[in-house]
């Protein structure tokens, strides 16, 4: 292999992950060393932790890892911007140095043994490799069924995503460059990446339980993530409202004809029920329609402001390995 060896970066967003970092870094280091020995990746490959504005000792731990071993790269965001933005920030830094980047979670839920398969597929010429969960045994029944519904609903609403693929994936440099061209502020990476194209492949893996600590994705965040996914990729909800409005309008016309006929034959009722029902029905429908439209207007508002998706406070990256201890601190 020799000269053709590729530089691969692992990109791991971290938010309050002090409980898992020691074990995660240990396991990932072992795998990277193994891959280097096998000459599947170059010695310039790195493990990059992106600190997403953690409130615990996460950043101190990352800087210490970097000080001890330049295999570790630290990227410190100025503020918590959420998983998708943190991941994006890390990928954009990786793009400058690596031939490919693999994104994974800090909590060891994405089976790290699959990394070798990602690398193999990349070395075989694939630009994007998706990690897809083979089973959902370790999830609670609730999470499993809600996740399934989520994909069904997403695809129905017009946002095509790969079922059971989260954000465990490999992207080549040119795929990352293509990704950087997408300028939207409302990020939903797993919906964006399939739009890029290129040759893709899939790696199946077993998803484990979180190694330690708590999920940073409570139900509330999951729901907003679903809304984000749908409204970022389709205008189907707006169209459905139009269809619904048209449908209800047709019904009211039919009812009008019906009431006119009953009036003609002289059978008149008090009509209280009809009025109350229609007032509530139409009122509810209008609120729903306004809500959906508001959702899109809010999105447009966020996009037109063109605010940066993230701000990097500091990057700990040392080009040469095992050289002087002083790290090249790039402050941005």
| Residues lying near ligand UDP in the complex (CB under 6 A) | 13-15, 17, 52, 80, 82-83, 86, 105-107, 109, 210, 215-217
Q: Which two tokens stand for residue 174?
A: 């040119």
Q: Which two tokens stand for residue 165?
A: 């693929």
Q: Does 109 bind Mg ion (CB under 5 A)?
A: yes
Closest approach of Mg ion to the CB of residue 16, in Å: 12
Q: Does 117 bind Mg ion (CB under 5 A)?
A: no
Mask for 14-53, x = binds Mg ion (CB under 5 A): ----------------------------------------
Residue 133 contacts which entry, ligand UDP, Mg ion, none (Cβ below 5-8 A, type-dependent): none
* Spatial separation of the C-alpha atoms in residues 55 and 59, rounded to whole Å: 9
Choose one: 99-107, 121-129, 173-181, 279-287; the region binding Mg ion (CB under 5 A). 99-107
**Cβ distance to ligand UDP smaller for residue 44 or 167:** 167
* Spatial separation of the C-alpha atoms in residues 53 and 314, rounded to whole Å: 12
CB 184 within 8 A of CB 303: yes
- Of the candidates 107, 86, 118, 313, the one whose C-alpha atom is nearest the C-alpha of residue 202 is 118
Closest approach of ligand UDP to the CB of residue 30, in Å: 19
Q: Does 111 bind Mg ion (CB under 5 A)?
A: no
Identified binder of Mg ion from the candidate list 19, 107, 127, 228, rule CB under 5 A: 107
Helices 115-123 + 21-37 axis angle, to 10: 40
Interior angle at CA 203, CA 158 and CA 4, nearest 5 = 115
Q: Which residues pair with 202 in a beta bridge?
A: 130
- Of the candidates 9, 11, 16, the one whose C-alpha atom is nearest the C-alpha of residue 215 is 16
**Cβ distance to Mg ion smaller for residue 99 or 105:** 105
Binding site for Mg ion (CB under 5 A): 105, 107, 109, 210
């Amino acid at each position: 292999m020799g000269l053709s060896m590729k530089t691969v970066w692992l990109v791991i967003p971290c938010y309050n992950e002090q409980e898992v970092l020691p074990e995660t870094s240990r396991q990932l280091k072992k795998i990277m060393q193994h891959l280097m020995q096998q000459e599947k990746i170059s010695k310039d490959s790195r493990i990059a932790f992106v600190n997403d504005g953690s409130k615990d000792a996460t950043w101190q731990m990352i800087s210490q890892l970097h000080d001890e071993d330049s295999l570790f790269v630290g990227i410190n965001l100025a503020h918590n911007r959420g998983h998708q933005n943190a991941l994006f920030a890390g990928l954009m830094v990786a793009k400058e140095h690596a031939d490919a980047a693999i994104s994974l979670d800090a909590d060891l839920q994405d089976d790290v043994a699959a990394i070798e398969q990602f690398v193999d597929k990349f070395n075989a010429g694939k630009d994007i490799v998706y990690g897809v969960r083979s089973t959902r045994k370790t999830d609670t029944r609730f999470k499993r069924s809600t996740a399934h519904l989520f994909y069904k609903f997403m695809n129905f609403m017009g946002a095509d995503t790969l079922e059971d693929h989260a954000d465990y994936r490999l992207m080549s440099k040119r795929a990352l460059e293509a990704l950087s061209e997408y300028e939207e502020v409302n990020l939903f990476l797993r919906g964006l990446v399939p739009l890029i194209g290129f040759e893709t492949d899939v790696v199946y893996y077993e998803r484990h339980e979180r190694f330690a600590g708590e999920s940073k994705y409570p139900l509330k965040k999951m729901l907003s993530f679903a809304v984000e996914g749908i409204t970022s990729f389709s205008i189907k909800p707006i169209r459905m409202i139009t269809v619904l409005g048209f449908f209800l309008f047709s019904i009211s016309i039919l009812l009008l004809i019906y009431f006119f006929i009953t009036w003609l034959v002289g059978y008149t009722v008090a009509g209280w029920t009809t009025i109350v029902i229609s007032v509530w029905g139409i009122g509810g429908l209008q609120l729903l329609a306004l809500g959906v439209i508001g959702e899109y207007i809010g999105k447009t508002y966020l996009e037109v402001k063109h605010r940066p998706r993230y701000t990097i406070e500091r990057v700990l990256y040392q080009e040469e390995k095992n050289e002087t201890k002083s790290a090249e601190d790039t402050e941005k």
